[in-house]
Amino acid sequence: MTSLALQRGYIPGNQPDARRFKVFTRRHIDQIPQLEQLSLSDLNAMKAVSAVLPFRVNSYVVEELIDWSNIPQDPMFQLTFPQPAMLSSDDFGRMYSLVAGGASEETIQAAAREVQRTLNPHPAGQMELNVPKLHGEPMLGMQHKYRETLLFFPAAGQTCHAYCTYCFRWAQFVGIKEFKFANSEAESLVEYLGAHPEVISVLFTGGDPMVMKTSLLRRYIEPLLDPRLDHVLSIRIGTKAPAYWPHRFVTDPDADDALRLFERVANAGRHIAIMVHYSHPRELETPIAQKAIRRIQSAGATVRCQAPLIRHVNDAADTWVELWTRQVRLGAVPYYMFVERDTGPKRYFEVPLARALDIFRQAYARVSGLGRTARGPAMSATPGKVLVVGTASVHGEEVFVLKFIQARNPAWVGKTFFAKYDTAATWLDDLKPALGEERFFFDEGADTGDQPRGLSRSGLFSLTQ
């Protein structure tokens, strides 16, 4: 045992926080003791929805994060357990009838596949526009929407310790092969980066890369520390583990090994950022969740926090004030308030942009400057990451003020534009150009102005080498 591990509090045989990871999926709904209070119809409803949308939860979430005296309203219950209204009334009725009627699993799955394909499984052009090519061949398991950032989906990291009901990557987990992004070849990642010196940041995502053993995660990360790839300034890991299974960084057998890997990245002169999804303050309440953050930070990694604004879970300014305040207290960095993406059960969770802006403003005004590192509400839409800056009256017309903070076309970054104010709009596609304009400047066929080197004729960054 190294002195470093001992300094972090790892003492063999004396770990009061240690617990065995136990997971529940759709097949285990009847085995979750806390659900015994539900009626048979409630359980069948849960099984019906979870046949379409992925369900996975673990004992830590069930026993420590959910207030079982307040279901179904409890936000953590809403965040992790399927609800009937997550499907349309017709789809829910069909699935419920099959489940309650004792249909075969094959019949239930066939019906579920039909519903899944109607739920916009890969929004924002992920399949059509985001997959890069090398030597004319698509690089499967990678996405390269922005010039500076490459997303990599390690094959063994395409699950999570528990699933969020709002997850925009839900299609990764339903077992349809053509829906899934994954790559098991670290060599292809290195080759692509070697051919693309404009990429300065690599984001490991999924799923959740932290479900992998550290020995496997190391195979992907360590090759990026080669001096020949010194244009890669930062390595990011998108994860929900500090919220849903903080033991991964504290008491799991290879917890210290993970921290040593983070240290190695930092010591190699690269920035290591753990991009944590905290959707509700309760995920930061437990002592072990707080200990996980401290240990990650002790390894030289930065903890950045992001989440979408989700109806039924965190659609109140008070919730975000508490969330950001706790993050700052723990030395974590509030990063993004996202707008729920247009996929899966979006209609159950979506919040109109006007209301989202009000919630963000109210929360932003009540935290210190350290909490105002958060940006939002932000939409990760097809043309790029669009920030709802505010509202204004321009020539007597009430408008949304919007700005690209990231874009497929680098020339669009920082550009401000206007959309007609609409209290019902929940996504970029719902908005109409303001001030007499017929289309937004980024719409297909619009004059995009400058076309920097590296852009295709469409005005988008070229993903082909």
- How confident is residue 51, by pLDDT bands cut at 50, 70 and 90? very high
pLDDT confidence of 177, banded at 50, 70, 90?
low
Q: What is the share, in percent, of the chain residues with pLDDT greater than 90?
A: 78
pLDDT over 90 (residue 313): yes
**Residue 380: band (very low, low, confident or very high) from pLDDT cuts 50, 70, 90:** very high
CB 279 within 8 A of CB 164: yes
- Domain-by-domain residue ranges, the chain? 21-116
- Region 63-75: mean pLDDT is 97
Q: How much is the mean pLDDT over the chain?
A: 89
Query: pLDDT tens digit string along 329-354?
Result: 999 999 999 999 888 899 999 999 99
Q: Which of 293, 279, 211 is nearest to 250 (CA)?
A: 293
The predicted model gives 201-219 an average pLDDT of 95
Average pLDDT score over residue span 435-460 = 59
pLDDT at 284: 98
Model confidence at 5: pLDDT above 70: no
Q: Say yes or no to pLDDT of 8 above 50.
A: no
Tell me, what's the pLDDT at 308?
A: 97
> 337 to each of 15, 309, 399, 416, how far by Cα in Å?
35, 6, 21, 19
Is the predicted pLDDT of residue 445 greater than 80, yes or no? no
252/93 Cα distance (integer angstroms): 42
How much is the pLDDT for 179? Answer: 55
